[in-house]
Amino acid sequence: MKIIKNLVSTSKYNIKCPYSMNAEFIVVHNTANDASAKNEIAYMIGNNNQVSFHYAIDDKEIVQGIPENRNTWNAGDGGSGKGNRKGLSIEICYSKSGGNKFIEAEKLAAKFIAFKLKEKGWDISKVMKHQDFSKKYCPHRTLDMGWQRFLNMVQSELNLLNKPSTGSSTEKILYRVQTGAFSKKSNADALLAKVKAAGFDTYMVQSKDGLYKVQVGAYSVKSNADAMAKKLKAKGFNVYITTESGSPVTSSPAPKKTLKVGSKVKVKPGAKTYTGGNLSSFVYNTVYDVIQISGNRVVIGKVKAVTAAIHKDNLLVQ
Ligand SMILES: [Zn+2]
């Protein structure tokens, strides 16, 4: 928290803060003025009145005028009054006219007070108001708007400070090897089937933005992810590495298209003919028509020109 210090000169300690102090609670005030925090502190440390406070807070800044280990003449409860001798005093600025500057000043004050409570290991019961120590109706505008409301503001800020951090910085970074990201799950399913067919262990996750991502491993060491990416690239897949996590999604393979005469098919890479013969390499990159099917034996070709007979398990319906 940024705190601007404009501390009173030690030569004025006898006027402004004559006693050493170990603060036991916080005392909240409103300035009943329309000056900035800087100006309130400059005025307070510059005059010779026995009036003092530790902090002034406006809509933008927290300015300190008296060290926390000195007392302040803030509470109007006398030379040995608890408010004056044990209270950490805070003035909220712009309370005379109110409006947005005051609203913002109160918000910043709530943040700062929560920060102080946390720092000192105090709870909300340590937040007092000037009125608790003398008859003065102060902090006037905060009281008008509701004291409990202000305490609630401080409490919410304190809750935020006490929230255990989600620990994203301590979370282990994993390098995830990814072959594709799709908004349509069926597209991800199709790619996943291809990656699987190429012999990789693969799975699908859904990212926070809803994309279906096909991934092939998550590695704590980046070079291992790079090695897997290289293997995938060699098989013709697009690959990139991401550290973003996602939730697992079950891939439901696209419904199998039925193989029938007239179907468009491709021969699985490396497959042989029905009788075990070799095929020319261009065959694997060509889409053929199914000309005839008898049991597992499927005759494929271009229109009516027969190219080969292939086992049906070695055909990919397009
Ligand atoms: Zn006051």
CATH number at residue 213: 3.30.70.1070
Say how many Å lie between the CA of residue 156 and the centre of ligand 1.
Answer: 24
Say how many Å lie between the CA of residue 96 and the centre of ligand 1.
Answer: 13
Average pLDDT estimate for 245-260:
72
Q: Would the pLDDT of 223 be above 70?
A: yes
- Is 17 part of any domain? yes
- Least confident range from 99-108, 121-130, 288-297: namely 288-297
Q: Would the pLDDT of 171 be above 60?
A: no
- Is 259 part of any domain? no
Q: How far is CA 87 from CA 128, 154, 234, 298, in A?
A: 9, 17, 72, 92
Pairwise pLDDT comparison (115 vs 173), residue with the higher score = 115
Domain's final residue, options 162, 187, 210: 162
Say how many Å lie between the CA of residue 142 and the centre of ligand 1.
Answer: 11
Please tell me whether residues 308 and 190 are part of one structural domain.
no
pLDDT of residue 55: 98
Domain's final residue, options 129, 162, 195: 162
Average pLDDT estimate for 46-50:
97
E-strand stretches of the chain: 4-5, 25-30, 55-57, 62-64, 87-92, 127-129, 175-182, 203-206, 212-219, 240-242, 247-249, 264-267, 288-294, 297-302, 305-311, 315-317
- Is 167 part of any domain? no
- Is 81 part of any domain? yes
Domain extent, residue 287, equals 264-317
Q: Which tokens hold the place of 109?
A: 């004050």
Q: Give dist(CA 136, CA 133) in Å, integer.
A: 8
Domain's final residue, options 249, 277, 307: 249
Q: Would the pLDDT of 306 be above 60?
A: yes
Say how many Å lie between the CA of residue 282 and the centre of ligand 1.
Answer: 90
Average pLDDT estimate for 12-29:
98
- Least confident range from 33-37, 137-141, 171-175, 232-236: namely 171-175
Please tell me whether residues 21 and 120 are part of one structural domain.
yes
Say how many Å lie between the CA of residue 89 and the centre of ligand 1.
Answer: 9
- Is 99 part of any domain? yes
pLDDT of residue 49: 97
pLDDT of residue 254: 55
Q: How far is CA 159 from CA 139, 146, 155, 167, in A?
A: 24, 20, 6, 17
Q: How far is CA 198 from CA 32, 187, 254, in A?
A: 76, 17, 17
Q: How many domains is the chain built from? A: 3
pLDDT of residue 243: 83
Average pLDDT estimate for 146-171:
84
Closest Cα partner for 296 from 259, 269, 271, 248? 259
Say how many Å lie between the CA of residue 8 and the centre of ligand 1.
Answer: 20
Please tell me whether residues 199 and 148 are part of one structural domain.
no
Question: What's the pLDDT band for 252 if we cut at 50, 70, 90?
Answer: low
Pairwise pLDDT comparison (238 vs 139), residue with the higher score = 139
Please tell me whether residues 137 and 58 are part of one structural domain.
yes
3-state secondary structure of 173: coil
Please tell me whether residues 114 and 215 are part of one structural domain.
no
Average pLDDT estimate for 287-298:
92
pLDDT of residue 255: 61
3-state secondary structure of 206: strand
